[in-house]
Amino acid sequence: MKRWLALLVLASVALAQIRVTVETPPPPTLVVGAEVRIGLVPGVVVLERVPEPQGILVVYRGSRVAEVYAHHHRDLVARGWTRVKYQVKDGRHQAEYRRGRAKAKLEVREHKGRIEVRVKEG
């Protein structure tokens, strides 16, 4: 009986040491222009992707404007962009970025339960 108890304790310790790693694929990357690329916010439903002159409009379902802006800001900074201007007005986040001579503009706002993200190059 003592042997079984010792084996059970050893087996439970061995099982407790198993590490499980779940890899999620990176979010898709959208190409805005020659210089600008953005990654979509993981875990947020994309309702629309509309190409615009020199940019793109991405519409998400939700109301967490600050979180969506923070994701896109971190994404642009990670890709080598530097924020040179930032303004929040009436819940609308507007920012301008530079990378060398290239310029980009990011605008995030909530509109009727949807979050609209506009990224423009130049």
Copy the structure tokens of residue 14: 């061995």
Copy the structure tokens of residue 75: 């994404």
Q: What is the pLDDT of residue 68?
A: 92
**What does the buried/exposed string (b/e) look like for 60-85 if buried means 16 or more CB atoms within 10 Å of the residue's CB?**
bebeebeebbebbbebbeebebeeee
CA distance 116 to 112: 10
Q: What is the pLDDT of residue 52?
A: 86
User: pLDDT digit of tens for each residue in the chain (122 aa)?
Assistant: 667 666 666 666 555 566 666 666 666 676 666 667 788 888 888 999 888 888 889 999 988 899 999 999 999 999 899 999 999 998 899 999 999 999 999 999 998 889 999 999 88
Copy the structure tokens of residue 8: 């059970």
Burial bucket for residue 5 (CB in 10 Å: 0-12, 13-18, 19+): exposed
Q: What is the pLDDT of residue 30?
A: 66
How far is CA 55 from its chain centroid? 18
